[in-house]
Amino acid sequence: MARIVMKFGGTSVADIARIHNVARHVKREVDAGHEVAVVVSAMAGKTNELVGWAREMPKACGANSPFFDAREYDAIVASGEQVTSGLLAIALQSIGVDARSWQGWQIPIRTDGAHGAARILEIDGGEIVRRMGTGQVAVVTGFQGLAPDNRLATLGRGGSDTSAVAVAAALKADRCDIYTDVDGVYTTDPRIEPKARRLSRISFEEMLELASQGAKVLQVRSVELAMVHGVRTFVRSSFEDPDAPGMGDFDNPPGTLICDEDEIVEQQVVTGIAYAKDEAQISLRRLADRPGVSAGIFGPLAEANINVDMIVQNVSEDGSKTDMTFTVPTGDLEKAVSVLEKAKDSVGFDAIQSEAGLVKVSVIGIGMRSHAGVAATAFKALAEKGINIRAITTSEIKISILIDGPYAELAVRTLHSVYGLDKQ
Amino acid sequence: MARIVMKFGGTSVADIARIHNVARHVKREVDAGHEVAVVVSAMAGKTNELVGWAREMPKACGANSPFFDAREYDAIVASGEQVTSGLLAIALQSIGVDARSWQGWQIPIRTDGAHGAARILEIDGGEIVRRMGTGQVAVVTGFQGLAPDNRLATLGRGGSDTSAVAVAAALKADRCDIYTDVDGVYTTDPRIEPKARRLSRISFEEMLELASQGAKVLQVRSVELAMVHGVRTFVRSSFEDPDAPGMGDFDNPPGTLICDEDEIVEQQVVTGIAYAKDEAQISLRRLADRPGVSAGIFGPLAEANINVDMIVQNVSEDGSKTDMTFTVPTGDLEKAVSVLEKAKDSVGFDAIQSEAGLVKVSVIGIGMRSHAGVAATAFKALAEKGINIRAITTSEIKISILIDGPYAELAVRTLHSVYGLDKQ
C-alpha cells in the first residue's frame, strides 16, 4: 500500500466522458489498496475562455489601459478547476469510490500575495491525510490557493503540475503521478526523430534542463519543487485504457519516473536532446569592456520584460573593446533592438547586428560531469553534416548550441544518434 | 446619500457588453453619492450548463442511480456567480469605480446545511460596510453561501433575489433594487392585457400572492424575506440606458417599489390579476368523512413530491360521505392519480375524477380586507362572459378561481377591467 497523488491536465478532463475515464484511473489505484489524492486542471479551453473575458473587459468598457486587478482575474480563472473537481468527485462516487472535492482555500493551500503568479507557501494536509486513511479520495483544485488577503490566488499558467507536486510533498506521498497527453519523457521529440525512446527514469536535474530547453511535458517550476522536496514524479498517459495490462503495476507502470539521480542505476552520459525554436541572436560590436557594461545592457532588457537566454562574451584582446552575443525570443527581437539603440550611447558600443529564426539545440546528461569529450563529440558530428555553430554555452550537465533554423531537425537527429540514444 | 443594494440577474450579465452596461448603472448610483453593494447571478445559460454536467455525470459513468452529492453540485454550480462578480469588479474599475468582488464564503454569508436548497442564516456585513464608507463597491456572488461544513451551499434556483434581499437586510440598506428584464410589476401580464399598468407601489403581502400565483418577476422567498426584514425592494429594468432621464432619481425611479402597506397612501381594493396555467383538478367522490382522511390523501402525495395547491372540501350532508377537490400541476396529474389509486382502500372513497389543462385566475388586493363584495363582483363578471367556475379558494387578500384553460385570457382581461385596473 502506498500514498499516491494523481494529477490530470485539461485535455484529460475535457468533457464528461474523459472525466469518467479519469475516475477509472483513480479507481484502479484505490482498488489496489493505495491512498489517493487527485489534483485536477480546468476542462480544456475553459481557462482560456475565462482569461479572455477578463482581458476583454477593460477594453469593452472603453478603458485606456488594458490592465486589470489580478485579484479579480484570480477569482474568475480559479472557477475552472472548481467545476472539474466537483464533477470528478461525482464521477468517482458514481463508480463506487468515496470522494470529495477540495478547493484550495478549503484545505487551505496557502500562497504568497503575488496574485496571478503566486507561489505556494504551505499546505495543511492533516484533514486530507485523515480522510485518506478512511479510504476517501481527495479531489483537489489545481493551480490555486488562498492568498494572505483571504482571496483566491492562481499560480500562473500550467500551475496545476506545481500544485500536484506541492500536495504530494505536503501529504508525504510516495509518488506524484502526472497524467498527461504523452506517455512519458523521451530522449528527444519523437515528431523529429522517430527513433526517440521513452526514458524509464530521468534525474530531476536532467528533467529541469529538458523542461527549460523546450520539452513541454512538465512545467519547470513543478520539477524544481519536486527536486527540492524529493518528490518522485511519474509522467504517464491518461489516454490509455485505465485497465490495460501493467497500468496498475505500482513498481513499474508505463511512463517515466523523475527521481533523484541515486535511484538511476545505469546512468547514461547523455540522456536527451532538446531544442528551442524561434531564437534570435543579437551581437553588440566593439563594446566598451568596463565594469557595469552588462548591467547597462541587460537591465533595460529586463525592464522591457524580454527574456535573455544564451549570453556569450569573449575576453577582449587588448582589454578595452569586446563583442557580446546573446539570444532572445524572435518575437521580442524588434523590441530588444529598439531598447538597445536607446542605450547605445550610455553603454558604449559601435553597432548592433541581429538575426532571427535560429534554433538552440541542447545535449543533456548528468553523466557529463564525469565524462570528458562530450562537447567535442557534438561539435564534430555537427561539423560533419556541415552545420555551422553560431554560439555555445555550457553548464555542468548541458551543452547548448545555437545554429541556423533550417538545420534544426538534422542537428537533433545527428546528436540523438551520435550519443547512441536511438539504441536500446 | 443612501445605502443601496443592486441586484442583476443572468440576462443582465449575459456577456461582456451587458456587464459593462451593469457597471454603468452602478456608477450612476456611486456618482450620486450613494453607498453601493451589488449582487450578481451567473451569466445567462452558465448555471444550466453546469447543472447539466452535474446531472449527466452519474449516467455517463454507468451508475444505476441518477443521484449525486449535493455538496459537489453546489461546488460546481456556485462557480458561475464567482466569474460574474470578478468580471463586474473589473468592469467597474475600468470605468473608474473602486470595487472588489466578494464570494459568499469570504463575507461570509452563512447558510444552513441543506446543500442545493440552503437557507441563509447570517451575514457578517461589517467589513463590507466599512469599505462602502470609503467609497468601495462590494460585488457579491448571489445564490450561495458557506454551509456549516465549510463547503459552498447554493440557495436553489432563482436564489440570487433572496441573496440580494438578505444582503440588504444585513447591511441595513435603504433599498434593494432588483434589476431584471422587465421594468416593474404590472397589474397583470401585459402579454395578455395590453392595458396592464405598471404599479408604482405594491405591498409585500400583495407581491407575495402575485409571486406565488405565477407572476415571474421575483422569487417568492425573496419577497418573504423582504417582508420579514422590512427591506424596501425596487423592481426595475437593467436594459434601459443607465443614464436615461429619471434613472438616477432616488425617490421616484422608473419601476415598482415593494414596501410596507403603510407606505402606500392610496390603497386600491384590487392591485392585480395573476394566473397560473397547466393546473389539473382531481376530485375524490364519496370520501369517508372522518378524522385522518386528509392526511391519508395528502401524505402520500407529498411523499411523491407533488405540490397540491387549491383544496376544496364541502361539509357533507349527513356527516358520513363528502367530495373533495384539489389541484396539482398538469405534469404531475398521472403520478398523483396513480398514488391515489393505491391509497383508495385505506383512505376510503368511491371514485377519482380528474381533468387537466385548467387555469387558476387570482384577484389580489390588500384593500379586500376592508371591502365587501369583491368576490361577488368577480363571480358576476365571469358569469356574464359565460365562464364556468370550477372551484374557489380565498385568503384575506386573494380570491383564486379555477376555470377551463381556453378561457384564461378572457378571464384575466375581464377581471382586470371590472376592478378598473386598466384606468390610470
Task: Give the DSSP H or E segment for B211.
Answer: helix B204-212
For the entire predicted model, the pTM comes to 0.88
Which site among B25, B71, B90, B127 would you substitute to test the A interface, given the most A Cβ atoms closer than 10 Å to its Cβ?
Answer: B90
Shared domain for A16 and A92, answered yes or no, is yes
Whether B50 and A17 lie within 8 Å, measured CB to CB: no
Chain A residues close to B53, C-beta within 8 Å: 16, 83, 87
pLDDT tier at B158, thresholds 50, 70, 90: low
Shared domain for B248 and B296, answered yes or no, is no
Does A267 map to a domain?
no
Least confident of A228-237, A307-316, B277-286, B295-304: A307-316
Average confidence (pLDDT) over B85-97:
98
Chain B residues close to A63, C-beta within 8 Å: 94-95
- DSSP assignment of A369-389 equals GG-TTHHHHHHHHHHHTTPPP
Does A424 map to a domain?
no
Chain B residues close to A76, C-beta within 8 Å: 82-83, 86-87, 90
Angle at B27 between CA B21 and CA B32, to 5 degrees: 140
pLDDT of residue A400: 94
B103 contacts B164 by C-beta, under 8 angstroms: no
pLDDT of residue B315: 74
Q: Any chain A CB within 8 A of the CB of B23?
A: yes
Whether B83 and A50 lie within 8 Å, measured CB to CB: yes
Whether A71 and B100 lie within 8 Å, measured CB to CB: yes
Average confidence (pLDDT) over B333-349:
92
Does A266 map to a domain?
no
Shared domain for B254 and B278, answered yes or no, is no
Q: What residues 125-184 of chain B have any CB closer than 8 A to a CB of chain A? A: 150-152
Point out the domain boundary residue: A201, A231, A261. Answer: A261
Shared domain for B135 and B10, answered yes or no, is yes
Whether B85 and A75 lie within 8 Å, measured CB to CB: yes
Q: Any chain B CB within 8 A of the CB of A93?
A: yes
pLDDT tier at B157, thresholds 50, 70, 90: low
pLDDT of residue A158: 67
pLDDT of residue A186: 93
For A61, which residue in chain B has the nearest alpha carbon? B20
Distances B93 to A59, A61, A62, B26, B103 between C-alpha atoms, Å: 12, 9, 11, 11, 18
Q: Any chain B CB within 8 A of the CB of A23?
A: yes
Size of interface A-B (CB pairs under 8 A): 137
Question: Is the pLDDT confidence value at B314 over 80?
Answer: no
Model confidence pLDDT, tens digit, residues B205-254: 999 988 776 667 888 889 999 999 999 999 999 999 999 999 999 988 99
Average confidence (pLDDT) over B135-164:
94
Give the minimum alpha-carbon distance from B73 to chain A in angstroms, rounded to a whole number: 7
Residue type, A101: S
Does B424 map to a domain?
no
Residue type, A102: W
Does B206 map to a domain?
yes
Point out the domain boundary residue: B262, B280, B296. Answer: B262
Chain B residues close to A23, C-beta within 8 Å: 61
Question: Could you list the residue range(s) of the whole structural domain that residue A340 is in?
Answer: 272-418
Shared domain for B174 and B301, answered yes or no, is no
Shared domain for A257 and A276, answered yes or no, is no
Q: What is the ipTM of this complex?
A: 0.86
Whether B54 and A87 lie within 8 Å, measured CB to CB: yes
Whether B150 and A106 lie within 8 Å, measured CB to CB: yes
Distances B80 to A31, A75, A138, B51, B61 between C-alpha atoms, Å: 34, 11, 23, 11, 24
Shared domain for B301 and B235, answered yes or no, is no
Whether A60 and B17 lie within 8 Å, measured CB to CB: yes
Chain B residues close to A80, C-beta within 8 Å: 79
Average confidence (pLDDT) over B74-103:
98
Question: Is the pLDDT confidence value at B74 over 80?
Answer: yes
Give the minimum alpha-carbon distance from A172 to chain B in angstroms, rounded to a whole number: 25
For A88, which residue in chain B has the nearest alpha carbon? B57
Least confident of A191-205, B112-126, B292-306: B292-306
**Mean pLDDT value across chain B:** 93
Question: Is the pLDDT confidence value at B409 over 70?
Answer: yes
Cell triple for B220? 417568492
**Mean pLDDT value across chain A:** 93
pLDDT of residue A162: 95
pLDDT tier at B370, thresholds 50, 70, 90: confident
Whether B95 and A61 lie within 8 Å, measured CB to CB: yes
Indicate the number of domains in chain B: 2
pLDDT of residue B214: 63
Chain A residues close to B150, C-beta within 8 Å: 106
pLDDT of residue B215: 62
> What CATH number corresponds to the domain at position B152?
3.40.1160.10
Cell triple for B298? 395528502
pLDDT tier at A157, thresholds 50, 70, 90: low
Q: How far apart are CA A370 and CA A377, in angstroms?
A: 15
Chain B residues close to A74, C-beta within 8 Å: 86
Chain A residues close to B152, C-beta within 8 Å: 103
Chain A residues close to B61, C-beta within 8 Å: 20, 23, 91, 94-95
Average confidence (pLDDT) over A270-286:
93
pLDDT of residue B32: 96
Chain A residues close to B91, C-beta within 8 Å: 57, 60-61
Shared domain for B235 and B120, answered yes or no, is yes
For B21, which residue in chain A has the nearest alpha carbon? A61
pLDDT of residue B403: 96
> What CATH number corresponds to the domain at position A327?
3.30.2130.10
Cβ neighbours of residue B303 under 8 Å, at least 6 residues apart?
A: none
Whether A20 and B60 lie within 8 Å, measured CB to CB: yes
A99 contacts A131 by C-beta, under 8 angstroms: no
Shared domain for A48 and A189, answered yes or no, is yes
Question: Is the pLDDT confidence value at A215 over 70?
Answer: no
Give the minimum alpha-carbon distance from A290 to chain B in angstroms, rounded to a whole number: 47
Does B267 map to a domain?
no
Cell triple for B215? 407572476
Does B59 map to a domain?
yes
Whether B87 and A94 lie within 8 Å, measured CB to CB: no
Q: Any chain B CB within 8 A of the CB of A91?
A: yes
List phi, psi (to 5°) of B59. Answer: -65, -45
Shared domain for B251 and B298, answered yes or no, is no
Q: How far apart are CA B287 and CA A232, in angstroms?
A: 75
Chain B residues close to A53, C-beta within 8 Å: 16, 83, 87
Shared domain for B107 and B136, answered yes or no, is yes
Whether B90 and A82 lie within 8 Å, measured CB to CB: no
pLDDT of residue B65: 83
Shared domain for A203 and A89, answered yes or no, is yes
Does B332 map to a domain?
yes
Average confidence (pLDDT) over A90-108:
97
SS3 content of chain B, % helix, strand, coil (to 5): 40, 25, 35
Model confidence pLDDT, tens digit, residues B243-285: 999 999 998 899 999 999 999 877 788 999 999 999 999 999 9
Q: How far apart are CA A186 and CA B37, in angstroms?
A: 55
Nearest residue, CB atoms, B61 vs list A53, A63, A95 = A95
pLDDT tier at A301, thresholds 50, 70, 90: very high
Whether A60 and B89 lie within 8 Å, measured CB to CB: no
Least confident of A3-12, A20-29, A207-216, A394-403: A207-216
Q: Any chain B CB within 8 A of the CB of A76?
A: yes
